[in-house]
């Protein structure tokens, strides 16, 4: 039977400051990736809103109103993706608001 071998990091531990620097670097990279994805999704929503407005240009009046409403909702969701939670206070009854939403509107 082969004995369990320790992990290499257990044999050669790094100084705490080096470990902390690596952890900070990883955290910054993760935050940057989240920000890029947030921007990508918000951009897609903005493009979709612009597309609804393009359709509305030649649409009958009743359809144009619906398309404009959709565009506004898409823009609202894009703001939420960027962190603006004030729209949730309009969409949810007040008894379902989170503490974060209450702070946001103060």
DSSP codes, 55-86: HHHTS-HHHHHHHHHHHHHHHHHHHHHTT--H
pLDDT in tens, 16-50: 898 899 999 999 999 999 999 999 999 999 999 99
**Dist CA 63 CA 32 (whole Å):** 40
**Dist CA 77 CA 83 (whole Å):** 10
In which band, very low, low, confident or very high, does the pLDDT at 8 lie, cut at 50, 70 and 90? confident
DSSP codes, 34-46: HHHHHHHHHHHHH
Written as six digits, the tokens of 70 are 């959709």
pLDDT in tens, 72-89: 999 999 999 998 888 888
Instruction: Give domain limits for the chain.
Output: 17-105
Per DSSP, the chain holds a count of helices (H) and strands (E) of 5, 0
- The residue that leads in pLDDT, 96 or 12, is 96
């Amino acid at each position: 039977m082969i004995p369990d071998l320790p992990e290499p990091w257990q044999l050669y531990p790094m100084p705490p400051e080096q470990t902390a620097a690596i952890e900070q670097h990883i955290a910054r990279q993760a935050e940057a990736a989240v920000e890029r994805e947030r921007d990508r999704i918000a951009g897609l929503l903005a493009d979709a809103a612009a597309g609804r407005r393009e359709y509305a240009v030649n649409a009958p009046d009743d359809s144009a109103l619906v398309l404009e409403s959709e565009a506004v909702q898409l823009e609202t969701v894009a703001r939420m993706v960027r962190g603006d939670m004030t729209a949730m206070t309009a969409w949810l009854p007040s008894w379902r608001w989170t503490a974060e939403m209450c702070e946001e509107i103060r």
